[in-house]
Each structure stands twice: as structure tokens, then as C-alpha cells.
Copies of this chain bind each other. A is one copy, B any other.
Amino acid sequence: MSLSEFEIIQHYFKTAALMQNRSEVVLGIGDDGALLEIPDGHELAISTDVLVESVHFPSGASPEKIANRALAVNLSDLAAMGAKPLCFTLGLVLAEPTTIAIQVKGIVESGKALMRSTATAGESIYVTGTLGDGAIALASMGIDSHLGEGFRIEEGQASEQCRQYFEDAYFFPEPRIDFSRSCANFITSAIDISDGLVGDLAHICESSGVGALIETDKLPVSGSARCCVSNENLLRAALYGGDDYELCVTVAKENEEAFVSQAEKQGTGITRIGHIFEGDSVRLENSAGNSIALDQSAYQHFKD
């Protein structure tokens, strides 16, 4: 028997497991609207996404995986704001194709949210975790990415273990909430790496009116990524790949030691990948100090 809209809501969503009894949620599901109370001295951070089957997630993936990814991807935005997750709203279109409209809401101390517009020259650039896994995961699952046809898993090089690693990276990314909450005081600007490092760092540059230099030999990549793609594609994935949901943050020189120490204490791997300079664009340089040209086709979103 197919369930009505109201039965689906009652059965799957108006459940004790999803009603977490947060005091800030004055009224949850089941009225014309919900009611939220924001503690004094705090702001509400919101981030929203609409995900369509076959476009934003593979057709046929299990509901658990799809739900986890939809939530994690948006929690990553909250992490990039330095906010503590509070609740989410969900709109579902259960048709062909399935569409998921999700909005996560978090709480952040007033005036303390991390933004894109507050980087200044001289600051160091750090990223969490490893880069490129998101794009390699798409290739591993046979899904096209904006990196084009030349971007592919090397024949015979992806072990079953690697494939599992990338599938987990794709469906179960770890939003860097604890890291950003713990290290927020040392961070001057932040963005999550959903469009690719270069593209997202360009957003910081544009919003802050600065330039950014990336030292390409410093980019952190996973062992599984090294196994599965050529060196050239590895660099492309790390620079332009997107879907990584790691954070890219800037840190002032005087706070760098404290920042590194706090991140280590908190348990999140971080890597210094470059610095902010007075300018207006993202530049790449290898360890020999040679400039590397930006791959404009791999990176559609950048504007001068």
C-alpha cells in the first residue's frame, strides 16, 4: 500500500529519533511552520541545497547514503561558518527524479561567524584533510565530472579497497564542525571546498580583495588517490576537483602556532598550502618557485 504524504511524514519524519528535544526548537514538524528560539548573543546560520537524482547524487544509491551525503554536504557549510549545528528542514519530491531540498541551521556567537570576506595579505592558507578525493570518487563510480574525459581512474590500478575508500569519501564526508568550532578564534576567513580549491579560494580572494598563492607541491592527497590516478590528474583533482568538503582557512602569522597546536589537539589533519598577498587572483607555484598556469577549462567559476 502506498502511503499518503501525511502518513510518510508521520511514519518516517515525526519520530522520536528525529525530534532531538533541542530547547531552541520551540515547535517542530506538524504545524503550519516551525518555531526556533535563538539564544541571546547568538545568530542563526543557515545553508541550503537542492539535490536532484542523477545530477547531484547517483541514481540507485541507498536512501541512507543519499541522506547522509545531503546532510554532510550542508553541515560542511555550517562548519565553514564556524556554526554549531542545531536542526534541519527537509523537502522531498518522491518522483522520477527524486529531489531533496535541505536547509541546515546552526548557532554561532554574534559577530563570530567565519566569512569569506575577511582574509588579509600576509596570512597563511591552510586546508583540512586531503584534496581531490571527491573528484576521484566520481570517476571511480563512473560519473562524469567537470574535469572532462581525460580525468579517469588508471586501468587496473583501483583496488576494491580503494573503490570502497572513495565511495565512503563521497557518501560519508566528515563535516569539519569540531575543527572549525575549536579553532575559530585563530581563523580569519573560511570556505568549504565544494567547487574545487582554486575556485573556492578565488571566492575568498574576490570577497576579501586579495590574491592567493598556492604551493602546488604542498597539496595534501590521500594514499588511495595516489594509487588510482596519474600525477597530472592527481594535481587537477586537488586543485579543481571539488566535492571534497574540507575547509580552506586563512590564519594570521601571530596566531599560526596556536592554530596548528589547537588543530593537532583537536585531531584534525591540516596542511599549510600557501599564503595571501596583496593582489586579486589565485596563482600557482611549484617547489622550484616556477609559476604554473591556471587550467581555465577545469575551473569555470573563476572571474577576474
| Contact yes or no, A113 B27, CB < 8 A | yes
Q: A83 within 8 Å of B by Cβ?
A: yes
Q: A26 within 8 Å of B by Cβ?
A: yes
Interface 0/1 of A91-111, CB less than 8 Å to B: 111010001010100101010
| Contact yes or no, B89 A103, CB < 8 A | yes
| Contact yes or no, A50 B99, CB < 8 A | yes
| Contact yes or no, A37 B110, CB < 8 A | yes
Q: A32 within 8 Å of B by Cβ?
A: yes
Q: A33 within 8 Å of B by Cβ?
A: yes
Q: A218 within 8 Å of B by Cβ?
A: no
| Contact yes or no, A93 B99, CB < 8 A | yes
Q: Which of B36, B37, B78, B103 meets A103, CB within 8 Å?
A: B103
| Contact yes or no, A301 B6, CB < 8 A | yes
Q: Which of B5, B91, B116, B300 meets A4, CB within 8 Å?
A: B300
| Contact yes or no, A35 B99, CB < 8 A | no
| Contact yes or no, A45 B49, CB < 8 A | no
Q: Which of A33, A36, A116, A191 counts the most chain B CB atoms within 10 A? A: A33
Residues of B within 8 A of A303 (CB): 6
Q: Which of B77, B89, B99, B108 meets A46, CB within 8 Å?
A: B89
| Contact yes or no, A48 B116, CB < 8 A | no
| Contact yes or no, A81 B46, CB < 8 A | no
Quote the shortest CB–CB distance from A56 to chain B (angstroms).
9
Q: Which of B44, B91, B101, B113 meets A44, CB within 8 Å?
A: B44
Residues of B within 8 A of A190 (CB): 32
Which residues of chain A from 50 to 91 have any CB-CB distance to chain B below 8 Å in the complex? 50, 52, 55, 77-78, 80-81, 83, 89, 91
| Contact yes or no, B91 A48, CB < 8 A | yes
- The complex places the Cα of A91 from the Cα of B91 at a distance, in Å, of 11
Q: A216 within 8 Å of B by Cβ?
A: no
Residues of B within 8 A of A49 (CB): 91
Q: A32-B192, A37-B110, A44-B38 are in contact. Are A52 and B116 (CB under 8 A)?
A: no
Q: A30 within 8 Å of B by Cβ?
A: yes
List 10 contacting pairs A-B, 8 Å CB cutoff, sorted by A. Answer: A31-B81, A31-B116, A31-B207, A32-B77, A32-B78, A32-B191, A35-B46, A36-B38, A50-B50, A52-B99
In the complex, the 4 A-B pairs of residues with the closest C-beta atoms, listed nearest first: A101-B101, A50-B91, A33-B47, A32-B80
